Chains A and B, each alone.
Chain A
Amino acid sequence: RKEVEQDPGPFNVPEGATVAFNCTYSNSASQSFFWYRQDCRKEPKLLMSVYSSGNEDGRFTAQLNRASQYISLLIRDSKLSDSATYLCAVNVQRSPYSSASKIIFGSGTRLSIRP
């Protein structure tokens, strides 16, 4: 089983729609969670971090469900410019004896917004 899994999509939705993605993770000790956005042929860029109480940034809402080990991203009133691939990322402890950690990325969910 992959450490971090996402539905690859593609999600093809009309402008103005609400769309939601989920991302599941296998390591219950994971502490930090992120959503990245990647435009075609570009590098990923941080969209938002996800903390225990969840957070909202304009049309974007990220939530964490520790019991079921998943994070979600909700995009309301979608715009053409939201078309991109959305990657979730999870902080994984390097070892139980070290505070160092690394980030594991999901394979990404492709979103296409149509006019």
Chain B
Amino acid sequence: DADVTQTPRNRITKTGKRIMLECSQTKGHDRMYWYRQDPGLGLRLIYYSFDVKDINKGEISDGYSVSRQAQAKFSLSLESAIPNQTALYFCATSDPRSRTSYNEQFFGPGTRLTVL
């Protein structure tokens, strides 16, 4: 089974709809991240969380909100989706306590979101 899972894997929605993307991990990592990826722009950080009580905005947080329900779960919401939020969304985790993989990011399989 995958260590980092995302649901849904694909979603098509309409402008103005509320959408939630979910991420779960079984790695036991404290740190979790949400990125979006657009052609030519690479991965851009939306929000990140270093533990359940620590949530921070990334470089492109406008139009998004997050919830860290537990150590293993980090969800991303689009309160009112708009077409320029069409992108590939990745969740990731990391474990800064690891000697061998300090700051390595482990990504989920991605959610392809299309907003019409």
- Residues on A lying within 8 angstroms of B by beta carbon are 6, 8, 32, 34, 36, 41-46, 49, 87, 89, 91, 94, 100-108
Contacts and interface: CB of A to CB of B under 8 A. Distances in A.
Closest 4 CB pairs of A and B: A107-B42, A43-B107, A105-B43, A46-B104
B54 to A, nearest CB: 8
Given A32-B103, A46-B105, A107-B40, A102 B110 contact: no
Q: Is chain A's interface secondary structure helix, strand, loop, or mixed overall?
A: strand
Contacts of B103: 32, 34, 91, 101, 103
Contacts of B50: 100
Contacts, number: 49
Interface residues of B, number: 23
11 contacts: A6-B42, A34-B104, A41-B110, A42-B109, A43-B90, A43-B107, A43-B108, A43-B110, A103-B105, A107-B40, A107-B41
